[in-house]
Structure formats: C-alpha cells, structure tokens
Amino acid sequence: MSPSLAGAALHPDLACAIALGVVDNPNVTASLDALVVTDPRLRTSRRQDGWLAGGDALIVATREYLTARRDAMLSAPRPGQAAWSASAAAKTRDTANVRANQARARALQLLQQRGVLHFARRNGLTVRELN
C-alpha cells in the first residue's frame, strides 16, 4: 500500500481510517457526504464529494459505520418526549450503535490486513489504540 499524505487525493484506505477515528489527522474531516483536506500553511482546502462510493469492503464498512453513527445521533431521546416515544428512540439508538460497532470491527480488520495502520505510524500520524 502506498497511500499519499500530500498528493492530489488522500488514499481511500487512509481516509477510511481517519473517518473511523482510528488515525488522527487534524487536516482531514470525513463525513458521509465529503472528505475535506485542508492545508493550513497555504490556507486552502479541497473537498472530495462521493468519497464513499464504491463496493470495496473497507469503503462499505466505513459507510455503514458513519451511517449508523448518524442514525444513533438522530434518534437520541429528546426532553419532554412521551415515555413510549423516548423508549422507541432509545431502542433505535442502541440498535444503531450495535451496527456501528460491528461495521467498525470489520473495518479495523481490513485496515490491519492492508497495512494502513503501520503506514500511518511510519508517516508520523497518531494511531489510536484498538479495542
């Protein structure tokens, strides 16, 4: 694997590792919609829309993870909600969190198999401890 850190586009595997919260890079923001890479020295940024399109297993797992995390956040119980509604929201949130954890576990295996975490460490990026 030879993902670029400063090239025209960030390697998809490294972008997935950042989106999954496994690799820290303050110059990259990853969401379901876009990947934004900033260069603070040049005060520029570039946006890569549709970065999670495709059928690669790591991209699919990352997309599932980010979708489940969004679903969990959107289904949080709200103050003043009826008890039955709050209960349903809590169940939806818990189900989404389970989906997120499963997708992240699959993605972590792929990141390790592909050598992405080793590459990130070797290039000075912070890699969080895997649980």
- Kindly state the average pLDDT of the residues 90-118: 95
- Kindly state the average pLDDT of the residues 25-46: 88
Q: Where do the H-state alpha helices sit in the chain?
A: 12-19, 57-74, 83-114, 116-122
- Kindly state the average pLDDT of the residues 29-33: 93
Q: How many angstroms separate the CA atoms of 32 and 49, rounded?
A: 9
Question: Is it the case that residue 6 has pLDDT exceeding 60?
Answer: no
Single out the residue of 29, 24, 33, 28 nearest to residue 52, CA to CA: 33
- Kindly state the average pLDDT of the residues 48-52: 93
User: What is the predicted pLDDT for the residue at 16?
Assistant: 97
Q: Predicted confidence band at 2 (pLDDT cuts at 50, 70, 90)?
A: very low
